[in-house]
Structures are given as structure tokens and as C-alpha cells.
Amino acid sequence: MSIHKFGIPSLLPENIKLLSGPGCPVCVTSRYFIDDTVACSKIDDVILTTLGDLIRVPGTETSLHEEKSAGRDIRIVYSVLDAIKIAQDNRDKKIVFPGIGFETTAPLSAAAILQATEIGLDNFYILSAHKIMPPVMAALIDEGVNIDGYICPGHVSVITGTQIYEPIVKNYALGCVVSGFEPLDILQSIYMLVHQIEKGQPELENQYCRAVKPEGNIKAQKMMYRVFKTRDDWWRGIGIIPDSGLSLTDEFKAFDAGQLFESLPGTHSDKDKGCICGEILKGLKTPEDCPLFSKACTPVDPVGACMVSSEGSCAAWYKYARGAV
Amino acid sequence: MCLSIPAEVLSIDGDMAEVSVGGTMYNASIRLVEDVDVGDFILIHSGYGIAKIDEAEANDTLNLMQEIKKKAERS
Amino acid sequence: MSSNIVTLDHGSGGKLTMDLIKMFTDYFGNSGPSGMADSAVVDAATNIVAFTTDSYVVNPIHFPGGDIGKLAVCGTVNDLAVSGAVPRYISCAFILEEGLKISELEQIVESMAKTAKAAGVIIVTGDTKVVERGACDRMFINTSGVGFLKQKHRSIGLGINVKPGDKILINGNIGDHGLAVLSIRNSFTNDIKTDCAPLNNLIENCLAVNDSIHFMRDATRGGLAAVLNELAEKIGFGVILIENSIPLAENTRGLCEFLGFDPLHLANEGKVIIVAGEGWEDILSTMKSHPFGKESQVIGTIVDKHPCRVVLETEIGGSRIIDIPAGMQLPRIC
Ligand code: SF4
């Protein structure tokens, strides 16, 4: 997203190509997760609180946006903190918060649950679609995606530290540069990665030293792993990756929104009416290769998740790069 | 890539801190970060502080950026 | 006035309705035809008339730097002015929610009167309806307006004379209105204020300078991005915007980054985009000498390249396409 926002691709020579990996939490999340959030919102007494990111993502039948217009109590919040506040103010209702995001965001959900425990809130629930980064980075290479190095997400690394990328460098001989989000951060990171490739010495470098420590934010990691444990999870375009998602530990099961409804979670599938999001996420194709792109599928009327989140590859492409200026 | 922005800590009350994000006051949770003091800059993500920003390193980057800018202007 | 809240009786056409009308005419200062007759009968300055209407439903009705009344007058005045017209007469219709405090209504009416006076327009006719509690959110206002224009300004609103090489000017910081309203709704404390202002005087001054103005539009909902995309689409040329030259207050920039908003998509209520050809320098200095145009800037150019597209040159020299906003901007984390 930042990469497109600043117009960085237009500055690079032709032999440097940037692919957007599965770094957008909304894009990699299953359509069925949206169906689950919609199902939650239909339960009597539930107030569904959601981050703005999810509101327009299409589910199988409908989106939260449509359900809100149809009269469900769906509230857009900026933070899970707001959801806790709503739970405190509405003790007779059940407040559900869909947890999306990687290591940057999962500790926030964990902190909220710990706070709920402390203040004795028993009407706050999380529907977790939280995921973690390292398994998918390895899976991509295993799938044969042809890349020369990773620009690693700075704000995930703020929590995890740079250490999580060591196996990528060691096992796959690929360079990893942890990058900040200012335009010059990104340019510098690209430069560092190119330099590594030229030298033929892939290594782990940290461009974003001002916020990322090698060990990361240990307090946040501890909270995250007290409340969550890893589980196998499904990724759009990739499928099931072992130990790549987060679910609540037994100690905090009481906060799991899953218990609120009986219906079994749907089966995940990649077949989104001709959407090739998956291959785009893997960097095998660009949005221009999708026959639906900017025709049947636009940000106003998205088919796949990649078009919904403004950070999704297709939305970013549509918004910033169409017609390759 | 998750949105996150540096904010200055103005005051602290238990787990919460009043921070200034480019002139807007916001009450952020500092539950996830250790040893936060008034005057520190912290990264805010969706209402929570997630890291302290290292001032020395930040200045280094800032200086570097300034230098690049100057070079770019000269050329 | 006997009651201090608005009741359904205020809309019944009886005594209480008269009381309300009296309050309006007292403030709007035109006790003549408009107060009691079914239509206002007015004089026309020329035989080319611009006519516009708009409804205002902003919530909350007060926000930093303005209120729904000021907005309702400025919005209509500006819609007329950017069409090249000199706004003259305004109508206003209120839809009031039962239970609204009369004092609150009075504040808004006073604000409308003040704004109309400042803009040099007269509120000549109006209407009031009261609806049951819950049927509207405290108060909705519709205003319509009439203005008169010279033959040579007839096509300014259409932009048919816009040519490559024309400069794009704006009269100051963008995004403040959108964020001022959002801030008060979300109880963010900051000093961002709405830019809501009547622009007819500034625009009149500019039109008097020379005939270089080829297009004008106020950048309200959808912001700068919406206006320029619409223009590019219509004229078939491209638009190049220079990010570094777009006026943006530091606090607005900061809050945008915080919430993941694009300032180019945020609403303004006191910003006019002027596209001008040869002689634009004099327009710019005229804008700058007006109190509502001190921060005026040239922000871009009309070009032959990339027809129908708006392209932003970013602060680091990259470029990207600016699209119309897909929907409401929502706070997001990614
Ligand atoms: S353009 Fe739409 S349909 Fe095609 S891959 Fe992207 S999101 Fe899927």
C-alpha cells in the first residue's frame, strides 16, 4: 500500500519488480470468515463491532455493509478498545469483535481479552482470524514463487523482532530486509536488498531500527501467546498452512465467539467466481491478468478480497497503477 | 502492511496514555509496551502503543533522509 | 415563545407555526412578501438565472468552526458562485424533530442569518415541517438558491473551454471540514475547524480580473479527487497534481495518517477549484488577497497525456493515479 501510495514502482528501473505478498490481512482471509461475522450479527442480542477494513468485504451472500443497512447492529470501531467500551456500556448485549491481522494486531486482541478478564466482562467475544507471518513466507517459496528477496513488514516485526526471518535466510538463502513505511524507508530497503543480491550474500538486515528490535516486543509476544495458540489455518490462494493461524487457548475459551452459534463453519474454497486473487497473492500473476479486473471487479463493486481492502493488490493496482503511468 | 503512526506521550494514567498524533489528542492503551514515559514517542496501531521509537535511530534516519533530499536537489 | 421545545403543533399551521415564522422573519429580516405569502416575488438582475438546491443533514448540528445553518447557506451560495453566478436569493426549508429545543433552532437560524448577511444574499422564502421523534435527526435543512450571471460566464460550470496547459488553483488547505466533523463525532480533541465559508465574494473578485477562468467547482463531498476526476472524464484531458503543492495543515495530515484517510477524498465546505488559462497569475494573486484565499496555491496542470485520468506526482517524485472515492472513508488499520 505505502509502496503504491508514494508511487514507488514508477521510480524503479524495469529489472526491479515488486510483488505484493500475502501481507494484507483482509485479502488472505476466507470468504467464510465474513459469512461467520454476518452470522454473528444476526444473532439476537449481538452487537458486532468491526474495524472499517472488513465492512465492505464480500461474503458468500452479503457483506457487513449490507447487513448494517438492513438493520443489524453493526458498529464500525477504530480499535478493539472501543469494542470493550461498548461491551461495558451494554451489559445486556453480547459484543463480538472479529479479530483480523497478523502479529501486529493479534496482541491487541489479546490485551483486550486480558482487560476484559480483569474488569469481569462476560459479554465480550472475539472471532479470531488472526494469522502469523513466518509460515506463509516459507510456504510461498515452497510453492515455487519466484522471488529474489523479501521486504519484510516493519510493523509485524515491531512485535516479533527480526529473528523470525532467520530461517528464511538460512533455509532458503533469500535476503530479508525489515522495512519502515516512509517513502525513503522503502527505497532504502530496496537498495539494501539489491545490494545483497548483487553481492550474492543474502542476509537479514533491519532498515527500520528506530522501531524494530531484534528480539521484538517481548511483553506483547507473551500476551499474545498466553491468550492464543497456533492452529492450522486457510489462506486465500494458498490453502491450509500448518500452525499459521491463532485460536484462543483453553484458558480463554469463554471469549470465543464461535460458541455463540451452532452452525458449522463453512468449507474454505478458492473458487471465487473466476477471481485469481490467489495467484496474484503468490506473485505469479498481476491483476492485469485477471479478466474481471476493472470490468466486473472494481473497488465499488468488488468480486475478490484483493479488490476490497485498499491495501489489496488489485485495489492498489486499480487505484494507483492502472495504465502504468 | 499495518498502519501505524508515531505519537508523543503527553500524560500517563495507568494503562492508558494521552498521546498527540500530529496535533490530535488520543487516548491510547500502553498495556503492550514497557517503560513508557511522558515525552517518549510510541508507535500507535489501532488504539494501542506497540513500540517505543528509538530517538537516536530515528534521528539517524531523519538525517539520512535530509542528506538524500539535499543530494537530489543538487542533482 | 410559549413552549421551549418544538412540538408537532409547531407544524400544524396554527398559532405556534406563526410564532416560528415570526422568529425566522425577525432573523432573516424580510418581513415583506416572503413571510406570509406563498411565494417570494423578487427582481431579476439579468435574464440568465442559475438555480440550485441542496439538503443538509450533518450530524452533529454543531461542529468546530460552524453549524448546519452556516453550512446550508454557504453550500448553496457556493454552488451558485462556482457556476459563475452572483447569488441573490435563498429559500430554506426546515424539517424539525419533535422535541428539539427552540433555543437550539434559534441558534441555527441566527447563524443562517449572519452567514446570509456576510454573503450578501437574502433568505426570501421558507417552510417548516415537524416530524415525530426519531423520524429525523434533530434537524434537516434544505436550501435552494437563485443567482444571476453574465452571458460570458455561462459555460464556466461546464468546463468546456478547459485546455491543456491550464493551471489548477485552490484557495487553501484541504480536508478540514471532513475531519472537523469526524473529530467531534469520535471525540478526538484537536484544533481542526471546518473551512465552511461563502466563496461568492472571492469568486466575484476573480471573475472581474480577466477572462482566464475556464472552470470552477467547489470541492465538497468526495473532495479534490472527485471534482478533478469528474472534470478529467468530462473534458477528455488528463490532470497532473503536484503533491507537494497541495495545501494541507499539519494536524489534518497527521489525523489522516492515523486513520488511514486520503486527504484528497475528504470533504471541504469552503474550497473552490479554479482552472484558468493565460492570466492565471493575476487570478492567483486576487485569491491570495482575499481572507478566504490566503493559502491559495497552484496545485496542478491540465495535460494532453493520460486522458481522463488524474495523476499525482508524489513528494518523492513517483506518480500514481488518483481515483474517485469508492464510498465513505472508514477508519482502518491496514
Ligand atoms: S481483479 Fe477482482 S476478481 Fe480479479 S483477481 Fe483481483 S479481486 Fe479477484
Residue A320 has a pLDDT of 67
Total number of domains in chain A: 3
In this predicted model, what pLDDT tens digit does every residue of C226-278 receive, in sequence order? 999 999 999 999 999 999 999 999 999 989 988 888 999 999 999 999 999 99
Average predicted confidence (pLDDT) for chain A? 87
- Whether the predicted pLDDT of A118 surpasses 90: yes
What average pLDDT does range B58-72 have in this prediction? Answer: 70
Are C139 and C172 found together in one domain?
no
* Residue C278 alpha carbon to ligand 1 centre in Å: 44
Nearest to A134 by CA among A56, A235, A49, A42: A235
Query: Does residue B56 sit at the C interface (CB-CB below 8 Å)?
Result: no
Q: Nearest CA to CA, how far is A79 from chain B (Å)?
A: 5
- Please name the residue that has the C-alpha cell 473578485: C205
Tell me which residues of chain C have a C-beta less than 8 Å from any C-beta of chain B: 183, 188-192, 250-251, 253-255, 257-258, 260, 317, 332-334
pLDDT range class, residue A308, cuts 50, 70, 90: confident
* Residues facing B11 on adjacent strands: B18
Q: Give the percent of chain C with pLDDT over 70.
A: 96
Residue C129 has a pLDDT of 93
Are C178 and C200 found together in one domain?
yes
* Residues facing C62 on adjacent strands: C67
Do residues C252 and C264 make contact, with C-beta atoms less than 8 angstroms apart? no
- ∠ CA C30-C36-C41 to the nearest 5 degrees? 65
Residue A321 has a pLDDT of 63
Looking at residue A202, which CATH number applies to its domain?
3.40.50.11750
- Whether the predicted pLDDT of A126 surpasses 80: yes
pLDDT range class, residue A10, cuts 50, 70, 90: confident
* Residue A260 alpha carbon to ligand 1 centre in Å: 33
Residue C49 has a pLDDT of 95
Q: Nearest CA to CA, how far is C183 from chain A (Å)?
A: 12
Best of C243, C311, C333 to disrupt the A interface (most A CBs within 10 Å) is: C333
Within a domain: residue C171? Answer: yes
Domain containing C73: what range?
8-153
- Whether the predicted pLDDT of A307 surpasses 50: yes
Within a domain: residue C187? Answer: yes
* Residue A76 alpha carbon to ligand 1 centre in Å: 25
Do residues C29 and C16 make contact, with C-beta atoms less than 8 angstroms apart? no
Total count of residues recorded for chain C:
334
Evaluated on CA atoms A254, A257, A263, A269, the torsion sign reads negative
Are A194 and A249 found together in one domain?
no
In this predicted model, what pLDDT tens digit does every residue of A189-237 receive, in sequence order? 999 999 999 999 999 999 998 899 999 999 999 999 999 999 999 887 6
The minimal CB distance from B45 to the residues A1, A155, A210 is found for A155
Atom of ligand 1 nearest to the CA of A307: 7
Within a domain: residue A267? Answer: no
Hey, are the CB atoms on C251 and B1 less than 8 Å from each other? no
In this predicted model, what pLDDT tens digit does every residue of C15-61 receive, in sequence order? 888 888 888 888 987 644 445 567 888 888 888 999 999 999 999 99
Last residue of some domain: C120, C153, C186?
C153
Are C57 and C121 found together in one domain?
yes
Q: Give the percent of chain B with pLDDT over 90.
A: 55
Best of B1, B19, B44 to disrupt the A interface (most A CBs within 10 Å) is: B1
pLDDT range class, residue A265, cuts 50, 70, 90: low
* Ligand 1 near A290 CB (within 6 A): yes
Q: How is domain B5-74 classified at the CATH fold level?
A: SH3 type barrels. (2.30.30)
Within a domain: residue C331? Answer: no
* Ligand 1 near A303 CB (within 6 A): yes
Are C205 and C95 found together in one domain?
no
Query: How many other C-beta atoms are found inside a 10 Å radius of the C-beta of residue B22?
Result: 19
Do residues A93 and A62 make contact, with C-beta atoms less than 8 angstroms apart? no
The minimal CB distance from A53 to the residues C311, C315, C333 is found for C333
Are C18 and C90 found together in one domain?
yes
The minimal CB distance from A79 to the residues B32, B43, B46 is found for B46
Q: Give the percent of chain B with pLDDT over 70.
A: 80
**Cα C250 to Cα B23: distance, rounded to the nearest angstrom:** 8
**A187, closest residue in chain B (CA to CA):** B65
More confident residue, C125 or C167: C167
Residue C32 has a pLDDT of 46
- Whether the predicted pLDDT of B75 surpasses 60: no
Residue C1 has a pLDDT of 47
Residue C2 has a pLDDT of 53
Q: Nearest CA to CA, how far is C219 from chain A (Å)?
A: 20
- What secondary structure letter does DSSP report for C211? S
Hey, are the CB atoms on C333 and B5 less than 8 Å from each other? no
Cα–Cα distance list, A125 to A37, A113, A280 (Å): 12, 8, 33
Residues 1-30 of B with CB under 8 A from C: 1-3, 5, 21-26
Q: Which of A64-73, A144-153, B61-70 has the lowest mean pLDDT?
A: B61-70
pLDDT range class, residue A273, cuts 50, 70, 90: low
pLDDT range class, residue A264, cuts 50, 70, 90: very low
Looking at residue C67, which CATH number applies to its domain?
3.30.1330.10
Looking at residue C200, which CATH number applies to its domain?
3.90.650.10
Touching B (3+ Cβ pairs <8 A), the chains are A, C
Residue A324 has a pLDDT of 45
Atom of ligand 1 nearest to the CA of A273: 3
Best of B1, B8, B21, B24 to disrupt the C interface (most C CBs within 10 Å) is: B24
Last residue of some domain: C131, C153, C175?
C153
Nearest-CA residue for atom 3 of ligand 1: A275
Are C38 and C120 found together in one domain?
yes
- Whether the predicted pLDDT of A72 surpasses 90: yes
Are C74 and C27 found together in one domain?
yes
Within a domain: residue C309? Answer: yes
Best of B32, B42, B57 to disrupt the A interface (most A CBs within 10 Å) is: B32
Are A41 and A118 found together in one domain?
yes
Hey, are the CB atoms on A182 and B2 less than 8 Å from each other? no
* Ligand 1 near A308 CB (within 6 A): no
Are C186 and C137 found together in one domain?
no
* Ligand 1 near A278 CB (within 6 A): no
In this predicted model, what pLDDT tens digit does every residue of A284-300 receive, in sequence order? 788 889 999 988 888 77
**Cα A182 to Cα B66: distance, rounded to the nearest angstrom:** 13
Residue B1 has a pLDDT of 39
Name chain C contacts of A320, Cβ cutoff 8 Å: 320-321
**B31, closest residue in chain A (CA to CA):** A111
**Cα C80 to Cα A264: distance, rounded to the nearest angstrom:** 58
Looking at residue A245, which CATH number applies to its domain?
3.40.50.11740
**B25, closest residue in chain C (CA to CA):** C189
Please, how many CA atoms are within 13 Å of residue C212, restricted to the half-sphere of its CB?
Answer: 21
Atom of ligand 1 nearest to the CA of A280: 5
* Ligand 1 near A304 CB (within 6 A): yes
Listed ranges A16-20, A179-183, A254-258, A273-277; the one with the highest mean pLDDT = A254-258
**Cα A235 to Cα C198: distance, rounded to the nearest angstrom:** 52
Total number of domains in chain C: 2
- Whether the predicted pLDDT of B23 surpasses 90: no
Domain containing A35: what range?
26-132+218-260
pLDDT range class, residue A322, cuts 50, 70, 90: low
The minimal CB distance from C251 to the residues B3, B22, B26 is found for B22
Are C60 and C18 found together in one domain?
yes
**Cα A287 to Cα A316: distance, rounded to the nearest angstrom:** 10
In this predicted model, what pLDDT tens digit does every residue of C137-160 receive, in sequence order? 999 999 999 999 999 999 999 999
- Whether the predicted pLDDT of A150 surpasses 60: yes
In this predicted model, what pLDDT tens digit does every residue of C279-295 receive, in sequence order? 999 999 999 999 999 99
Q: What's the one-letter identity of residue A87?
A: A
Q: Which helix (H) or strand (E) holds B45?
A: strand B41-45
What average pLDDT does range B59-64 have in this prediction? Answer: 71
Q: How far apart are the first and last CA of chain B?
A: 33
**A100, closest residue in chain B (CA to CA):** B2
